[in-house]
Chains A and B, each alone.
Chain A
Amino acid sequence: MRVQRIWTDERARGVILQLLLILALLLVLAFIVSNTVANLQRAGLASGYGFLGSTASFDINQRLIQYDSTSTYGRAFVVGGLNTILVACLGILAATIIGFVAGVMRLSRNFFISRIVGAYVEFTRNVPLLIQIIFWWVVILALPKVRDGISFGDTLFLNNRGVRLPAPIIEDGAGIILVALALGIAITWQIARRARKRQDETGQIFPVVRTGFALIIGLPLVTYFLAGSPIDFDIPVAGKFNLKGGFNITPELVALWVALSTYTGAFIAEVVRAGILSVGKGQTEASGALGLRPGLTMRKIILPQALRVIIPPLTSQYLNLTKNSSLAVAIGYQDIVSIGDTIMNQSGQALEVISIYMLFYLTISVLTSLFMNWYNARIALVER
C-alpha cells in the first residue's frame, strides 16, 4: 500500500528513477574501469600521460613550428593540432567563398549558370568525402613530374610534389609594414563608423569599401617601398631534379584543402540559397520601388536578413569541416589524428591518445557553440 502511494506520487517517482539511473551508470562505469585496469595490467601497459615527455623519433614533414625527430610526443601532438587548425582555417576560408558564390549563382536567372552550379552541388553532396579526398590526391600525384611541371610565370609551380610558392624572407625593418597594415585597418574602421553616422543623419553615402581597400592595401604597399623593400621573395628556381628555394605545399595538404572546401562549399551553397529564399519577395520589390539598384538591394536588404537564417547552419558546416579534416589520415596528411595514430602504434598508449583526440575536438566544438550563442543573441530579431 505504502509502496504504491510512493509510486503514484510524481515527484517521488522522479527521484527514484533518477537514483536508479545514476546507480546503473555507476555500475557500468565500475565494470568498464575494472576491466580496463585488469586488461592494462595483463598487457603490462603503464597508463597516464607521462609518455608525452618521451622522444618521438619520427619525422613530420608538414609543420608550422620547430620540430625534429628528437622532439617529444607532446610537441608532435601540438604540431598535429596546428596542422588540423591550418587546414581547417584554409578550408573554411575557401568553402565560404565557394559556398556564397555558388549559392547566389544557383539562384541566377541565367539558365546555364544555375544548372552548372546545381550539378556541382548535387554531385559533391552525394558522393562520400573520403572518395573525393582520395580522388584529388590521386589527381595531384598524377600531375607531371617536377622537370615538366606546370609553372605560372616562373614563380608558382605545380607538379606531383605539390605546389611551390615564393617564400618571403623577412629582413630588418619589416615590422613597420605590419604597423602600416594595422594603421590602415584602424583608419578604415573609423571611416566606416563616421560614414554610417553621417548616412544616418544626412543620407549622404561615402564609398567606404573602395576607400577601405585603398587604405588597407595601399598603406602597407607604400611603406614597403619607402622602407626600401625589407621583405625579399625567395622565388623557386628549377634545379636539376627538384625546385630550389621557395616553400612547398605538400600534395596531401593541397588535396585535402581542395576536397574539403569544394565539399563543404556545396553544403554552404545550399545554406545560402535557403537563406536568400527565406527573405520574402516583397522585400526585393519594395527595395526596387525605393530605387535601389540590384547590387545594393542584395547588400543592404536581402543579405542582412538572410544572414540571420544563414549563420547558425553555416557555423555547423564550419564545425563539420573541422571534424572532416580528420579524414586526412587516409592520405597521410599529418593532422592530429594521423600523428596520434603513429604515436599510438609506437607507444601503445591508445586510451590516452584517443582521449587527447576527443578533448581537442570537443574544445573546438564547445568554443564554436559558445561563439554561436553569443552571435545569435546579438543578431536576434528585436521585436518591437
Chain B
Amino acid sequence: MSDTAFHRRQAEMLPSRPAPAGQTGAVGWMRANLFSSPFNILLTLISLFLLWSIIPPAFDWAFFDAEFVGTSRDDCVGGAGACWAWIDQRIDQFVYGFYPAESRWRVNLAVLLLIPALAWVLIEKAPGARYGRWFALFYPVIATLLLVGGLGLEEVTTDKFGGFMLNLVAGLAGIVLSLPIGILLALGRRSKLPVVRVVSVTFIEVIRGVPLITLLFVAIVILNLFLPQNVSLDQLARVMIMVTLFASAYIAEVIRGGLQAIPAGQYEAAQAMGLGYWKMMRLIILPQALKISIPGIVNTFIGLFKDTTLVIIIGLFDILGQARLLQTNPEWIGEVDHETYVLASVFFFVICFSMSRYSIGLEKRLDTSGR
C-alpha cells in the first residue's frame, strides 16, 4: 500500500543537491583544516598568534622602518629598522670580493655561460644536446680562463677572489672535480679485487668520519709539509683539493647507492653480450646508476655549497668574510651586524632552495614505484 506508493515515488531520480554549506567552500575548508577538534582549534590559535608576533615586526624591521639610502652609518644610527644603505656602495665587494672592478664582467660572463652548460647536462631533451654536452665538458676550462686570466686576458691572482663568487667557485670546482673521483671510488668499493676495495673503503670512511674543518686545517697547515720545499701551492688551490676530496667521498656513497639499485640481470646481460668490465660500466651500468643518483648528487652539492662558508675559519674572505669586514669597517661599524648576515642568508637560500626543489621534482619523475 503505502509501501508501494513510496517505491513508485522513488522510481524517478531526484536531482542531486549541493553539499551542506558547512562542508564546502571557504567555511568547509576552514572546518576541515583549522577547527576540526578542540586540539586543532588550539593549534590554529597558537599558530595565528605566532604569525602575528613574528611577521609584522619582521616586515617592519626589514622594510617599513628600514633605512635604504645613505652614505655611512650616521644615516642609520637611531633607526628602529634595518640599515640597508650599505648595499648601494658595497654590494660589489660583497659579491666579487677584491676582484678588480674593470674585470668583473669576466665573472658575470662565467656565471652566464654556466646556465647553458648546466641546462645541457641536466635537461634531457634540450635542443642541440650533442654539441651542448661538449660545451659543458669544456666549460670548466673556459671558466678557469675567464676567472684567472690568460690568452690575452689580464691575470687575476686567486687571493683577489672573494665574496659570494668565492663560495660559487669553490663549490662548483668541488662538485665538478669530485664527480669522476667519486665514480671511481664507488666502483672501487664494489670491486672484486680486495686491495682496491680496502683502499676505497678506507678513504671513503676516513673522509666521511672527520669534519670538513679538520681537512681545511690540513690544507692550510700540513699540505705544505707534504710537498717538496720548492713547490708551494696557491691557497685557494689547496682549499679546492681538500673540498674535492671531501665531496668525492660523499658522492661515492651516493653513486654506490645508485649502483646497488641496478638489478643483477643488467650486469649478467652485459657480460653475456661479451662486454668487458669498463665497457659494461660505461655503456650499461653507469648511465642507469648515475641517472638515479642525480637527486643525491644535487643534495651533496647543496651541502658542499653551504660548507664553502667554512673557508672563513682558515682566513679566506668569502661572503661571510666580507660581512665581517663590513661590520668592522669604521664607516658602518655597529649598524650592519645583522643586515649583512641576513643578506648572505638570502643569497644561499635562493640558490639552495631552488636546487632542492629541482632534486625533489627529479626524484618524483624518476620514482617508478607507482606509489
Select which of A112, A123, A326 is within 8 A of B43 by beta carbon: A112
Q: Is the CB of A127 within 8 A of B348?
A: yes
Q: Is the CB of B229 within 8 A of A116?
A: no
Given known A38-B229, A116-B47, contact A354–B214 (CB-CB < 8 A): yes
How far, in angstroms, from A40 to B211 measured CA to CA in the complex?
26
> Across the interface, which residues of A come within 8 angstroms of B194, CB to CB?
18
* Least CB distance, B27 to chain A, in whole angstroms: 14
Q: Is the CB of A337 within 8 A of B211?
A: yes
Q: Is the CB of B209 within 8 A of A365?
A: yes
Q: Is the CB of B344 within 8 A of A131?
A: yes
How far, in angstroms, from A362 to B312 measured CA to CA in the complex?
24
How far, in angstroms, from A126 to B211 measured CA to CA in the complex?
19
How far, in angstroms, from A25 to B200 measured CA to CA in the complex?
12
Question: Interface digits, A118-154 against B, CB 8 Å rule (1 contact, 0 not)?
Answer: 0000110111111100110010001000000000000
Q: Which of A22, A40, A108, A357 has the most CB of B within 10 A?
A: A357
Q: Is the CB of B221 within 8 A of A354?
A: yes
Question: Interface digits, B202-231 against A, CB 8 Å rule (1 contact, 0 not)?
Answer: 000110111111100110011011111100
Q: Across the two chains, which residue of chain B brings its CB closest to A324?
A: B211
Q: Does B353 contact A (CB under 8 A)?
A: yes
Q: Is the CB of B226 within 8 A of A32?
A: yes
How far, in angstroms, from A131 to B134 measured CA to CA in the complex?
37
Q: Is the CB of A109 within 8 A of B40?
A: yes
Q: Is the CB of A35 within 8 A of B344?
A: no
Select which of B43, B306, B337 is within 8 A of A113 by beta carbon: B43
How far, in angstroms, from A322 to B51 measured CA to CA in the complex?
32
Select which of A18, A112, A361 is within 8 A of B209 by beta carbon: A361
Q: Across the two chains, which residue of chain A brings its CB closest to B220?
A: A350
Q: Is the CB of B43 within 8 A of A108?
A: yes
* Least CB distance, A13 to chain B, in whole angstroms: 10
> Across the interface, which residues of A come within 8 angstroms of B283, CB to CB?
none
Given known A111-B33, A323-B211, A354-B218, contact A18–B193 (CB-CB < 8 A): yes
> Across the interface, which residues of B come within 8 angstroms of A111, CB to CB?
33-34
Q: Is the CB of A130 within 8 A of B210?
A: no
Q: Is the CB of A358 within 8 A of B214?
A: yes
> Across the interface, which residues of A come within 8 angstroms of B214, CB to CB?
326, 337, 354, 357-358, 361
Question: Interface digits, B50-62 against A, CB 8 Å rule (1 contact, 0 not)?
Answer: 1100000000000
Given known A110-B47, A351-B225, A366-B209, contact A14–B192 (CB-CB < 8 A): yes
Q: Across the two chains, which residue of chain B brings its CB closest to A141?
A: B337
Q: Is the CB of A14 within 8 A of B226?
A: no
| Tally of chain B residues near chain A (CB < 8 A) | 54
Q: Is the CB of A36 within 8 A of B226?
A: yes
Restricting to A1-51, which residues have a CB under 8 Å from any CB of B?
14, 17-18, 21-22, 25, 32, 35-36, 38-40, 42
Restricting to B291-308, which residues have a CB under 8 Å from any CB of A?
302, 306-307
Select which of B224, B228, B310, B349 is within 8 A of A130 by beta carbon: B310
How far, in angstroms, from A130 to B318 measured CA to CA in the complex?
12
Q: Does B195 contact A (CB under 8 A)?
A: yes
Q: Does B32 contact A (CB under 8 A)?
A: yes
> Across the interface, which residues of B come within 8 angstroms of A341, CB to CB?
217
Question: Interface digits, B322-362 against A, CB 8 Å rule (1 contact, 0 not)?
Answer: 00000000000000011001001100110011001000000
Select which of B211, B312, B338 is within 8 A of A326 by beta carbon: B211
Q: Across the two chains, which residue of chain A brings its CB closest to B32?
A: A109
> Across the interface, which residues of A come within 8 angstroms of B302, CB to CB?
126
Q: Does B36 contact A (CB under 8 A)?
A: yes
> Across the interface, which residues of B come within 8 angstroms of A351, CB to CB?
222, 225
* Least CB distance, B286 to chain A, in whole angstroms: 20
How far, in angstroms, from A102 to B218 measured CA to CA in the complex?
38
> Across the interface, which residues of A come within 8 angstroms of B224, CB to CB?
39
> Across the interface, which residues of B come within 8 angstroms of A112, CB to CB?
34, 43-44, 47-48, 51
Q: Does A344 contact B (CB under 8 A)?
A: yes
Given known A112-B44, A126-B349, contact A138–B338 (CB-CB < 8 A): yes
Q: Is the CB of A127 within 8 A of B349?
A: yes
Select which of B43, B199, B222, B352 is within 8 A of A110 by beta carbon: B43
Select which of B33, B193, B210, B349 is within 8 A of A123 by beta carbon: B349
Contact-residue size bin, chain A (C-beta under 8 Å from the other chain): 35 or more
Given known A329-B213, A357-B210, contact A35–B33 (CB-CB < 8 A): no
Q: Does B196 contact A (CB under 8 A)?
A: yes
How far, in angstroms, from A80 to B141 measured CA to CA in the complex?
44
Q: Across the two chains, which residue of chain B brings its CB closest to A18?
A: B195
How far, in angstroms, from A22 to B193 measured CA to CA in the complex?
12
Select which of A22, A25, A138 is within 8 A of B341 by beta carbon: A138
* Least CB distance, A285 to chain B, in whole angstroms: 16
Q: Across the two chains, which residue of chain B brings its CB closest to A132?
A: B345
Q: Is the CB of A354 within 8 A of B217?
A: yes
Q: Across the two chains, which residue of chain A brings its CB closest to B188?
A: A21
Q: Does A163 contact B (CB under 8 A)?
A: no
> Across the interface, which residues of B come within 8 angstroms of A18, CB to CB?
193-196
Question: Interface digits, B180-200 against A, CB 8 Å rule (1 contact, 0 not)?
Answer: 000000000000111110010
Q: Is the CB of B222 within 8 A of A350?
A: yes
> Across the interface, which residues of A come within 8 angstroms of B225, CB to CB?
35-36, 39-40, 350-351
* Least CB distance, B287 to chain A, in whole angstroms: 24
> Across the interface, which residues of B come within 8 angstroms of A138, CB to CB?
337-338, 341
* Least CB distance, B361 to chain A, in whole angstroms: 15
Q: Which of B40, B211, B345, B356 has the most CB of A within 10 A?
A: B211
Q: Does B69 contact A (CB under 8 A)?
A: no
Q: Does A327 contact B (CB under 8 A)?
A: yes
Q: Does A93 contact B (CB under 8 A)?
A: no
Select which of A131, A324, A362 is within 8 A of B309 by beta carbon: A131
Given known A126-B353, A357-B214, contact A362–B195 (CB-CB < 8 A): no
How far, in angstroms, from A365 to B348 measured CA to CA in the complex?
29
Restricting to A296-350, which residues have a CB under 8 Å from any CB of B?
323-324, 326-327, 329-330, 337, 341, 344, 350
Given A39-B229, A130-B310, A327-B313, 6 other A-B residues pairs in contact with their CB atoms under 8 A: A22-B195, A109-B32, A112-B47, A128-B348, A131-B309, A138-B341
Residues of A whose CB lies within 8 Å of any CB of B are 14, 17-18, 21-22, 25, 32, 35-36, 38-40, 42, 108-113, 116, 122-123, 125-131, 134-135, 138, 142, 323-324, 326-327, 329-330, 337, 341, 344, 350-351, 354, 357-358, 361-362, 365-366
Can you list 8 contacts pairing A with B, beta carbon distance less than 8 Å?
A116-B50, A122-B353, A128-B307, A329-B213, A330-B312, A350-B217, A351-B222, A362-B210
